[in-house]
Amino acid sequence: METVLRGQSFAVEISGVDLSRDLSNAEFDDIKRIWLEHKIAVFRGQEIGDNALVAFTERFGPLFVHFRSQFNDQTRPEIMLISNIKEDGRNLGELGDGDLMWHSDQAYSELPVFSTLLYGIEVPNEGGGTWFCDTAGAYAALPEAMKQRIAGLRQSFSVEKTVTTQNITLSEEQRQMKPPVQHPLVRTHPLLGRKSLYLSPAHTAGINGVDAAEGDALLGELLEWATQPEFLYHHDWRVGDLVMWDNTSTMHSRDAFSPTERRMLKRTGFEFTPEQAVPV
Ligand SMILES: [Fe+2]
């Protein structure tokens, strides 16, 4: 197993490992440690069936099943299809071909998902890349005065925003399942104690106790800070790539791609225990 850093401070590519086979405990523990430290792990050239993908995901923690179930795999609901491909006029997956705003997955949930894994089945020749931002590195580098200013602040997140920011449709029942929630602006990793900016512009509905204009200005300032080049990694997808990230310490966005191109990714995720999952 070899590792190469892909971002300036985070995002590591791990090579020499075949995720389709049973990993030894020692190999698995190495992967988990390296991933936790670097927040994003990239594996290339993988050939993983659905069962192996789910088994690898589940080894880290309880499987996540997306509440917007219309694009979950029929036989394996732990796998969600992310795709712009249509067959017989019907979308095979979710999220289309447009760009997607910065977000941390399921920040609008009371207990947001710990990690998301994306596995590339078909990828466009151009576009459709994923940007990752190291929000823990961005927090650590903040001026002390800003750290003090934002300490203790809480923000509201709403799934409603995704209808416009992520081009998503929600049924009335799905809306009812996800009422607005409040989470801290600075989040502490429950396993590592590492602090990060908990930013998810695609879901943010404002900072509590701060007027809207001031809250928006502060969030805008933090977003600009966090998205400086030293905190970013851009992933150009190839078939067989598997990328996994820690939603507590990163956020991501997507480049648009041409509707004439085909893109199909399989998504899984795993959760914290319920006690660890409450952002603090
Ligand atoms: Fe996402």
Give every CB contact of residue 83 below 8 A, 6+ residues apart in sequence.
91, 92, 93, 94, 95, 122, 262, 263, 264, 265
Give the model's pLDDT for residue 280: 96
What is the pLDDT, as a whole number, of residue 170? 86
Selection from 100, 104, 47 nearest residue 269 by Cα: 104
Distance 252 CA to ligand 1 centre (A): 6
- From ligand 1's centre to the CA of 227, what distance in Å? 16
Give the right CATH number for 2-272 from 3.40.190.10, 3.40.80.10, 3.40.50.970, 3.60.130.10: 3.60.130.10
The answer to whether the beta carbons of residues 253 and 102 sit under 8 Å apart is yes
Please give the distance, rounded to the nearest whole angstrom, from the Cα atom of residue 60 to the centre of ligand 1.
19
What confidence score (pLDDT) does residue 117 get? 98
pLDDT score at 277: 95
Minimal CA–CA distance to 107: which of 231, 254, 279?
279
Going from the Cα of 241 to the center of ligand 1, the distance in angstroms, rounded, reads: 16
* The pLDDT of residue 152: 97
CA of 271 from ligand 1 middle (Å) equals: 15
Tokens at 150, concatenated: 């934002």
Tell me the domain boundaries of the chain.
Answer: 2-272
Mean pLDDT in runs of 10 for the chain (280 residues)?
A: 94 97 96 98 98 97 92 93 92 90 96 98 96 98 98 94 81 89 98 98 94 96 98 98 98 96 97 95
Distance CA 275, CA 265 (A): 30
- Calculate the CA 30 to chain-centre distance: 21
CA of 106 to the centre of ligand 1 (A): 8
Give residue 102 CA to ligand 1 midpoint distance, Å.
8
Q: What is the pTM of this model?
A: 0.96
Å from CA of 145 to ligand 1 middle: 31
State the distance from the centre of ligand 1 to the C-alpha of 144, rounded, in angstroms: 30
